[in-house]
Amino acid sequence: MALHLQTLTELAAGLANREFTSVELTEVLLARIAEHNDTLNTFVTVTTDAALAAAARADDALAAGKGGVLNGLPIIHKDIFCTRGIKTSCGSKMLDNFISPYDATVVERMAAAGAVILGKSNMDEFAMGSSNETSYIGPVRNPWNLECSPGGSSGGSSAAVAARIAPAATGTDTGGSIRQPAALTGTVGIKPTYGRVSRYGMIAFASSLDQAGVITRSAEDAARLLGVMAGFDERDSTSIDKPVPDYVASLGDSIKGLRVGIVRQHFDQGLDDECGARVKDAIAVLESLGATTVEVDLPNLDLSVPTYYVVAPAECSSNLSRFDGVRFGHRAENAVDLLDLYCRSRGEGFGDEVKRRIMTGTYVLSAGYYDAYYLKAQKVRQLIADDFKNAFADVDVIAGPTTPTPAFKLGEKVDDPILMYLNDIYTIGANLAGLPAMSVPCGFVDDLPVGLHLVGAHFAEATLLRCAHQYQQQTDWHTACPAAFR
């Protein structure tokens, strides 16, 4: 099979068996970037020379009988991860001139395992968006239909993996930013438990919700990468000190007897009928593998989106106050005084959606409104977390749709923030409660992919990955490739 069509796991075997070198593989993928990037706009930066140098080092390591578990395997990092000596823009004009002086822990760990970085992927500005349209270098296009969005905010990562430009890409997920783009592009996306993967060097959006993960073409590949990324990091104050299980080792275990929760509210109004049908088919496959289904209730599901749009902007308004035009980032010309420097640097450097969220956050935290909005939202967040806790007393996994509809057209929702926000209704709850969740391809509607959403209890990543892997042994939706990118 052509190298670009192989999964990370297949490529790892090919490299180990000396069927090809990492330099040859990297050259193939760099050529695909050159061929398709003008169409898809998946990259902020392509690191050609560094990639070829890293590939050559990986080949040397292999020849010497050394090399980590990702030795010679090409990946892409979302441009939210700091990469030493490489521009880290976070999809914003504010950081267009920012060359990171250090590596994020995720970047460091993957490099230490031998991964080859092809470049930095396009994304919604500061990860604020669900369509990749808020990026300062323009939207990414969906390989399944170029008029559609690949989702967001990790849209460059999802489109690149779907278009067979790279076997895997990192992403971050604050309200669905890994899972929604994975669903919309027919790829696999996992957001681990809050604190499972280090946030050090990952540009902060909403610190109590942000979590790093990966987008791949199979659950097996996701398991392989998560094992490298996950684990305690003393440089992240909310990192959890808990051993990382061998996610690959348990993939082959049966899911017989697995209790799968079906949420009553998920199939109510708002869900596209055809999408709902694909998700129900997928659940039937899990049942055929011996899983049992149980109806569960998430009574406060409807409140998850408004809760998120108080908590996340509040944290964002605080996190983004560091961009002041002084130490790094965009600086306005000819400021008359310090206030003018701050206000104009920020006014010029941030795009519309980021400004909107900073102002929303500033408002809900301001004197007189704090109790009614921010404190109230934190209380409702607790109710939502309790709903999940109750549900997980009876089930091992919750299964449902990742998104209400397949990929939507670019421009379709960009003028209505609420319509855009509601796209994340099924994914936001996992962030609010800090739970691991993933999206797995489960079919098509009008030639556009549909995602099955799996949510687990805290630290149940291995269960999710096993469930997804077993599903993928029975189905081939995850191997479907958009016609123009074969």
Partner 1 sequence: MSLDKKQIEHIALLARLKLSDEEYAESVEKLSKIVDFVAQLSQADTTGVVPMAHPFDAAQRLRPDVVTETVERDRYQENAAAVSDGLYLVPKVLD
Is 53 a binding residue for partner 1 by CB under 8 A? The answer is: no
Closer Cβ to partner 1, 20 or 363, answer by number: 363
> Would residue 158 show up in a list of annotated catalytic residues for this protein?
no
Is 352 a binding residue for partner 1 by CB under 8 A? The answer is: yes
In the complex, the smallest distance separating the C-beta of residue 366 from partner 1, rounded to whole angstroms, is: 6
In the complex, the smallest distance separating the C-beta of residue 136 from partner 1, rounded to whole angstroms, is: 16
Q: What is the DSSP letter of 269?
A: T
Is 427 a binding residue for partner 1 by CB under 8 A? The answer is: no
> How many CB atoms lie under 10 A from the CB of residue 479?
13
Query: Distance between alpha carbon 440 and the CA centroid of its chain, in Å?
Result: 13
Strand partners, 74: 116
Q: What is the DSSP letter of 230?
A: B
Token pair, residue 366, equals 């301001």
- Residue choice 267, 328, 370, 444 for contact with partner 1 (CB under 8 A): 328
Which residues from 440-469 bind partner 1, rule CB under 8 A? 458
State how beta strands 259-263 and 397-401 pair: parallel
66 touches 18 (CB < 8 A):
no
* DSSP secondary structure, 83-107, as one string: -TTSB--TT-GGGTT-B-SS--HHH
In the complex, the smallest distance separating the C-beta of residue 474 from partner 1, rounded to whole angstroms, is: 33
Q: Say how far apart CA 8 and CA 221 lie, in whole Å.
A: 6
Closer Cβ to partner 1, 246 or 340, answer by number: 340
Q: Say how far apart CA 262 and CA 426 lie, in whole Å.
A: 12
Position 374, amino acid: Y
> Would residue 389 show up in a list of annotated catalytic residues for this protein?
no
Closer Cβ to partner 1, 347 or 411, answer by number: 347
Which listed residue (177, 218, 304, 439) is catalytic?
Answer: 177
Size of the site for partner 1 (CB under 8 A): 68
- Residue choice 41, 170, 185, 300 for contact with partner 1 (CB under 8 A): 300
In the complex, the smallest distance separating the C-beta of residue 460 from partner 1, rounded to whole angstroms, is: 14
Q: Report which of 185, 188, 201, 262 is spatially closest to residue 444, judged by C-alpha positions.
A: 185
Helix spans in 230-351 (H): 273-288, 304-319, 338-349
Is 268 a binding residue for partner 1 by CB under 8 A? The answer is: no
Is 375 a binding residue for partner 1 by CB under 8 A? The answer is: yes
How long a stretch of residues is the chain? Answer: 486
Sign of the Cα pseudo-torsion (449, 455, 459, 464, in order): negative
> Would residue 153 show up in a list of annotated catalytic residues for this protein?
yes
In the complex, the smallest distance separating the C-beta of residue 411 from partner 1, rounded to whole angstroms, is: 16
Is 390 a binding residue for partner 1 by CB under 8 A? The answer is: no
Name the residues that contact partner 1, by CB under 8 A.
97-99, 101, 194-195, 208, 234, 237-238, 240, 300, 303, 306-307, 309-310, 317, 321, 324-329, 331, 335-344, 346-348, 350, 352, 355-356, 358-360, 362-364, 366, 372-373, 375-383, 385, 417-418, 421, 433-434, 458
Active site amino acids: 78, 153, 177
